[in-house]
Amino acid sequence: MEHAPLSPASLRFLKMHGLGNDFVIIDARSGENPVTPALARALGDRHRGVGFDQLAVILPAKGADFTLEFWNSDGSKAGACGNATRCVSDLMMRDLGREAVTLFTERGQLSACRRADGLVSVNMGAPILDAKAIPVLADPMALPRAGAPVAVGMGNPHCIYFVEDAEAVDVAGLGPQIEHDPLFPARTNVEFAALVAPDHLRMRVWERGAGITLACGSGTCATAVAAHLKGLTGRHVIVDVDGGRLEIDWREDGVWMTGPTATVFEATLSPAFLASL
């Protein structure tokens, strides 16, 4: 991606997705960060803007190749976004002519690489299991709610329900209720997962600040961690989401997530659109 200076009259962006989890990506390494809550909301509108599940801003970094900042389509900040991290890492590896990169997010320094099969892997860091750090106002492994959900942090809070049939869950109805449950002072992402085999899960997701998405990287990682902690799976699992398949490997150095990425288009926001904000 070219690193031309950004100005109120000209703002280039890239559209990418990982398993249908779609992102607008703005490269602000060579200029000021242009993103505000108003711009994030306007860009996130699928009818009057561009549309995205998350907005990722590439920023400079000291001690790493780049920094990533994440926004939801409702104009709120996101602490982590695994599939966007994989997409931008793919972009930056191609840009830098390398097969591995390091980056900073709110989670600290992370690493990503391209596997021999072309899929992109990112180390999402260690799971957060402390209630205060998630944050959740109860024991994360014994939440006082019907269905025995589990809370896990992966930069974002996640509330994971294990169900018999993920396809039968009313995600649109239950998701927003659970997102705003008083147990979660910062709201929460919500995952519904069914065990297919000891190394295989089926998961559907409601994302905090975004709604139903076809995939959620941090949510897939959190679900895999929760499944292992509950004794349902090992530490290496395949997770089928609405948009495809992700591979999760909870290693000693963190939770690694692997899957495909896709670049859709690059474009420039019109001066009239920017002036209307």
Question: Active site includes 81?
Answer: yes
Distance linking the first and last C-alpha atoms of the chain: 25
Catalytic choice (87, 113, 159, 216): 216
Helices and strands (H, E) in the chain, number of each type? 5, 17
Residue 218 annotated as lining a ligand binding site:
yes
- Does 189 count as an annotated binding residue? yes
Catalytic annotation on 216? yes
Whole-model pTM: value is 0.91
* 21 among annotated binding-site residues: yes
Q: What would the two tokens of residue 206 be?
A: 């409601």
- Which 3 state secondary structure label does DSSP give 41? helix
Measured distance CA(222)–CA(234) in Å, rounded: 14
Per-residue pLDDT 10s for the chain (277 aa) are 444 434 445 799 999 999 999 999 999 999 889 999 999 999 999 999 999 999 999 999 999 999 999 999 999 999 899 999 999 999 999 999 999 999 999 989 999 999 999 999 999 999 999 999 999 999 999 999 999 999 999 999 999 999 999 999 999 999 999 999 999 999 999 999 999 999 999 999 999 999 999 999 999 999 999 999 999 999 999 999 999 999 999 999 999 999 999 999 999 999 999 988 8
